[in-house]
Chains A and B, each alone.
Chain A
């Protein structure tokens, strides 16, 4: 069944320079494995292709049922250079949650 990350996880974005970090956290511990399987670096990079990330890195935190994505060079130079209304990229967390995934349930 196709669902979106929004159905099983929550997220928050932070920024450092021209880099965004987006946490992705499973509501239920048993859904963490779905996130691991579905929210891969490649798929997330693809989902953010409009922002042209030069690199996407995923750090896993099984203890917390969470993962942390680092998207390089997606903020048009960062808060001091971007012309975007949302120069921090804070709203990107909900864009990540829009990503369609396959649910095994």
Chain B
């Protein structure tokens, strides 16, 4: 049986949009069954898309969807490369409609587009389920949305039913890859080892460049060629679930034992129990081997039966976040920056607990209590930027904070410059585990109305 190759076209919402085409061209050159996945949904991304949808029912899908799909659609349809993405986000149906319109615009035969549903628990039924799970901590007034992580099974079923494109909202990231592999090999849903292997292949692919040289380079220590042109990854997945990771032809970047190990462990907790909706994967006996240049295999992943529940993320209105910055330079700059801190603390500290950073001195390693900066002795830096940040339920207080920051221009220490302020809504999250039967997934083929 021919093996399936699965490429990645995006690893987050807002990823580069010129990377998918080289992956598609490579898949065509290599021949054989293939798919390309788009992973566009971080935890919070979905909630912000839900807010877009509430403001405009035609929106709520990945904003870059057209830029992602238009360059590759004709090639994918012509060469039977299945497109699978969670770019449906909060509004998969609207995303399907857009793709159909792009196809029409490109004068292509209308593609068969499947839409996965069942993840959105924001409606009446879902809300009841979520409310029951979170009580007594469920605050209905601040509720924004709830979504369960669905799995690969419905994606696989949709592909087996003839889907050329699968549009999903919240499915677990690796399931985007497991779906087409499962459909291709007709794995049973309890073929745990194979599904676990494909899950880890999907895990390697789901952050795009992060396995092919992105997020890796450390000049002089870990060198990556042509970082400006990192090629996106492709995994050839075998019937037993093992895989070989490569990347798009004629591109920069690097697939090495080291890039693969870093990404294998990325966002992992217990390596013996990586839980997804499809399986519990165990990489403790896995091995990573270099087969050639930019060619690395992953094998030996074990699988255990999937859990009886699905994880759901529930988002609530979390008030407002505000931050601002101002620069100081030359002699005694740090003293002036620290005086500005003192002024802000005295004018706003009682209303909003403030975080202070002196960018260039201490801005990342300390926690929000400012202990680290406070215990850092005053230095001699002559090029400094002060940052002040806080959050509050009431946007009026955040506006006041930003006005106070702006007033440092005329009312603060000497020589302050370059004030920038911004504010944004915050979302807070709670997670819960929902019985699968309470959040069933399914698919349907989209037809224009």
**Is A95 in contact with B267, judged by CB distance below 8 angstroms?**
no
What's the Cα separation between A83 and B370 when bound, in Å?
11
Task: Give every chain A residue within 8 A of B318 (Cβ-Cβ).
Answer: 80-81
Q: CB-CB contacts of B368-379 with A at 8 A, as 1s and 0s?
A: 100110000000
Interface centre among B261, B272, B427 (most CB of A within 10 A): B261
**Is B426 in contact with A70, judged by CB distance below 8 angstroms?**
no
What's the Cα separation between A68 and B265 when bound, in Å?
7
B429 at the binding interface (Cβ < 8 Å): yes
A68 and B44 in contact (CB under 8 A), knowing A12-B263, A80-B428, A85-B364?
no
**Is A12 in contact with B366, judged by CB distance below 8 angstroms?**
no
**Is B286 in contact with A85, judged by CB distance below 8 angstroms?**
no
A10 and B262 in contact (CB under 8 A), knowing A59-B270, A59-B271, A83-B355?
yes
What's the Cα separation between A21 and B389 when bound, in Å?
25
A41 at the binding interface (Cβ < 8 Å): no
**Is A63 in contact with B287, judged by CB distance below 8 angstroms?**
yes
What's the Cα separation between A59 and B271 when bound, in Å?
7
B213 at the binding interface (Cβ < 8 Å): no
Q: CB-CB contacts of B256-277 with A at 8 A, as 1s and 0s?
A: 0010011111111111100000
**Is B427 in contact with A16, judged by CB distance below 8 angstroms?**
no
Which listed residue (B258, B366, B426) contacts A25, Cβ 8 A?
A: B258
Task: Give every chain B residue within 8 A of A83 (Cβ-Cβ).
Answer: 321, 323, 355, 368, 389-391
Task: Give every chain B residue within 8 A of A79 (Cβ-Cβ).
Answer: 43-44
B336 at the binding interface (Cβ < 8 Å): no
Task: Give every chain B residue within 8 A of A10 (Cβ-Cβ).
Answer: 218, 221-222, 258, 262
A82 and B368 in contact (CB under 8 A), knowing A59-B271, A64-B261, A64-B264?
yes
**Is B265 in contact with A23, judged by CB distance below 8 angstroms?**
yes
**Is A14 in contact with B283, judged by CB distance below 8 angstroms?**
no
Task: Give every chain A residue within 8 A of B431 (Cβ-Cβ).
Answer: 17
**Is B429 in contact with A63, judged by CB distance below 8 angstroms?**
no
**Is A91 in contact with B286, judged by CB distance below 8 angstroms?**
no
- Residues of B271-325 at the interface with A, using a CB-CB cut-off of 8 Å, are 271-272, 283-288, 300, 318, 321, 323
**Is A50 in contact with B367, judged by CB distance below 8 angstroms?**
yes
**Is B264 in contact with A76, judged by CB distance below 8 angstroms?**
no
- Residues of B348-394 at the interface with A, using a CB-CB cut-off of 8 Å, are 355, 357, 359, 363-368, 371-372, 387, 389-391
Task: Give every chain B residue within 8 A of A25 (Cβ-Cβ).
Answer: 258, 261-262, 265
A42 at the binding interface (Cβ < 8 Å): no
A31 at the binding interface (Cβ < 8 Å): no
Which listed residue (B359, B366, B391) contacts A50, Cβ 8 A?
A: B366
- Give the nearest-CB partner of A11 in chain B: B262
Task: Give every chain A residue within 8 A of B283 (Cβ-Cβ).
Answer: 61, 64
A51 at the binding interface (Cβ < 8 Å): yes
What's the Cα separation between A86 and B296 when bound, in Å?
31
The 8 closest A-B pairs by CB, nearest first: A14-B267, A23-B265, A83-B355, A83-B389, A12-B262, A76-B368, A14-B266, A83-B368
Can you list 7 contacts pairing A with B, beta carbon distance less than 8 Å? Answer: A10-B221, A10-B222, A12-B262, A23-B261, A25-B261, A78-B429, A83-B391
Q: A63-B300, A68-B269, A83-B355 are in contact. List 4 more A-B contacts (CB 8 A).
A: A21-B267, A25-B261, A50-B372, A59-B270
